[in-house]
Every structure is written in C-alpha cells, then in structure tokens.
Amino acid sequence: MRTHLKRAALIALGRFRALRRENVRFRGAFASFDEAVAHVRPGLLAGYDHDRVTPVSREVMQQVPLWDYPILYWLKRLAPEITRLVDAGGHIGVKYRGFGRYLELELVDWIVYDLPAQVKAGRAQVRPQDRTLSFVERIEEAPAADVLLASGLMPYLNEPLTDLVRRMRVLPRYILLNKVVTRDGPTVVTLENFGVAEVPYHIRNVDEVPTALDMLGYDIIDSWTIDSLAHRIQTHPELGHATYRGYVARLRA
C-alpha cells in the first residue's frame, strides 16, 4: 500500500512539473529516439548535430573529472598495445585535450568519430600540438584501430552498440565505454535540456550493453558505476534512478 502511494505521489509530482513546464534537465519518457525528437519544444533545436550545440559544455568536457580515471587507468595500462584509437562521440577532441597531460598521445593515432557539426568544429579548432588528432564523420572511414573508446556517447547514440561496432573496418581488440546510462526496466529515451536544444538521451536497460558486447565476441574485464552522476527524469521520477556505468571489454581470442 505504502509503495503504491509513494509511486502515485511521484507520478503526480513529475506530471505537475511537466505541466508547469519547469526548466528541468530531463523531460519526458519516450519509446524511441524518433518519438523523443517529435516532442522537442517548438523554437528549440532537436539533437546534437547543430553548430549552436557544439559549444554547450565544451569546456567542462575538456576537464578530467573523477569518473574519467578508470578510462585513464586502462589507457595507460594498455598503452604498449595501442597505436591507434577511435574516439566515438569524441566531440571536438575534448578527451584528447583533457588526457594529454597524463598520456603520451604523440604515440597514439587518435581518431575522433562524431556528427558533422562536431567534426567541422573539431577540425577548425585543432591546435599545433594536436599532431596525432584527426576526425571522421563516418566510423567506416576510420582505419583499423586497437581501441574503440566511447565516453559519454551511449546516451546519445541512436543505434545499437552492435551496429556501430560492426561498421568499423576491423573489430578493435578493446572497447572502453564510459558514462553508459542504465536502468533496471526497459530502455527509455528522455530529452536533455541543452538550453538552445533538446537532445534525445537513452537510459538503457542494464543488460543491453553487456549483451551487445557478448554478441560482438567481447569479454568484460572491468566495470564500474559512477554513483555521483545518478539522477531521475524530473518529469517521470517513478521510473527510478538512472545509473552511470563504465566497461572495459576485450575481444575473445
């Protein structure tokens, strides 16, 4: 009885916030990317692929917060095996810039794969010291790599991980994923508030990524949760917490 009352109260609170059009970070719960796009508010840009969206959070993403350290640890540990890395969702090269203080990036051919708006901005903003950084708009264009890094991509990716990885020329020996957002129930797509835009944001069923990695022929050799990033969709709190996760997976021999 208590649980039912709590759930009803959460639903009422969420819908009230939605009705009041509160300026929340996450709004709505949809069955698909396309359905979420169809609900973007008039006057706002839809999705990530716009010049005016590229600067949003750019400086923050170039920092190295605590939750990047598992990725740094693995990149450092695997360094002797890495000559080329594909950074999917790498934006303008934000992690290349952030990680440059800790890794010997002049030894790694670092290829960012991202949407056209970010690739255009990334190419325009390349610094003289970014000698090993380059960009592609299609992952198929990237040459064979030792590592696929996808940090912060999975909430925004509008295709299954299996499809993305199978479009690579050669399966990379390692896949490093960070900030995969998960929940216990079915996958939902909400809209993230970027100010100038609303961007579809996937909160995936917790088994989706491990199952995809297994189907692709990978063993998960490390994983973690980022508890400080947990959140709820403010308009749909009854859907529970979204949990951020990271994975390191190695191709089975």
Ligand X SMILES: C[S@@+](CC[C@H](N)C(=O)[O-])C[C@H]1O[C@@H](n2cnc3c(N)ncnc32)[C@H](O)[C@@H]1O
DSSP one-letter string for 222-244? EEEEEEEEEE--TT-GGG--EEE
Question: Residue 46 CB, nearest distance to ligand X (Å)?
Answer: 12
Cβ-based nearer residue to ligand X, 18 or 56: 56
Cβ-based nearer residue to ligand X, 158 or 225: 158
Task: Name which of 211, 111, 129 is nearest 168 in CA terms.
Answer: 111
Cβ-based nearer residue to ligand X, 134 or 158: 158
Contact 224, 245 (CB under 8 A): yes
Q: Both ends of the chain: CA-CA distance in Å?
A: 52
Cβ-based nearer residue to ligand X, 114 or 208: 114
Helix (H, G, I), strand (E, B) or coil at 103: coil
What is the token pair recorded at 205?
Answer: 């069923």
What is the token pair recorded at 102?
Answer: 């800790």
CA–CA distance, 210 with 21 (Å, rounded to integer):
36
Question: Residue 11 CB, nearest distance to ligand X (Å)?
Answer: 29
The site for ligand X, by CB under 6 A, has a size of 18
Question: Residue 44 CB, nearest distance to ligand X (Å)?
Answer: 17
Interface residue with ligand X among 24, 85, 97, 114 (CB under 6 A) is 114
Contact 71, 246 (CB under 8 A): yes
Under rule CB under 6 A, residue 28 binds ligand X: no
Footprint of ligand X on 48-77 (CB under 6 A): 48, 61
Under rule CB under 6 A, residue 229 binds ligand X: no
Cβ-based nearer residue to ligand X, 160 or 237: 160
What is the token pair recorded at 57?
Answer: 């959070």
Query: What per-residue string of b and e applies to 90-127 under the rule 16 or more CB within 10 Å gives b?
Result: bbbbbbbbbbbeebebeebbbbbbbbebbbbbbeeeee
Site string for ligand X, 83-112 (x = CB under 6 A): -----xxxx--xx-----------------
Under rule CB under 6 A, residue 200 binds ligand X: no
Question: Residue 2 CB, nearest distance to ligand X (Å)?
Answer: 38
Under rule CB under 6 A, residue 153 binds ligand X: yes
Ranges of beta strands (E only) in 2-153 are: 26-30, 45-46, 84-88, 109-113, 133-136, 147-151
Interface residue with ligand X among 118, 190, 234, 235 (CB under 6 A) is 118
Cβ-based nearer residue to ligand X, 35 or 184: 35
Cβ-based nearer residue to ligand X, 14 or 145: 145
Under rule CB under 6 A, residue 115 binds ligand X: yes
Question: Residue 19 CB, nearest distance to ligand X (Å)?
Answer: 29
CA–CA distance, 76 with 18 (Å, rounded to integer):
45
Q: Which parts of this chain interact with ligand X (CB under 6 A)?
A: 48, 61, 88-91, 94-95, 113-115, 118, 151-153, 156-158
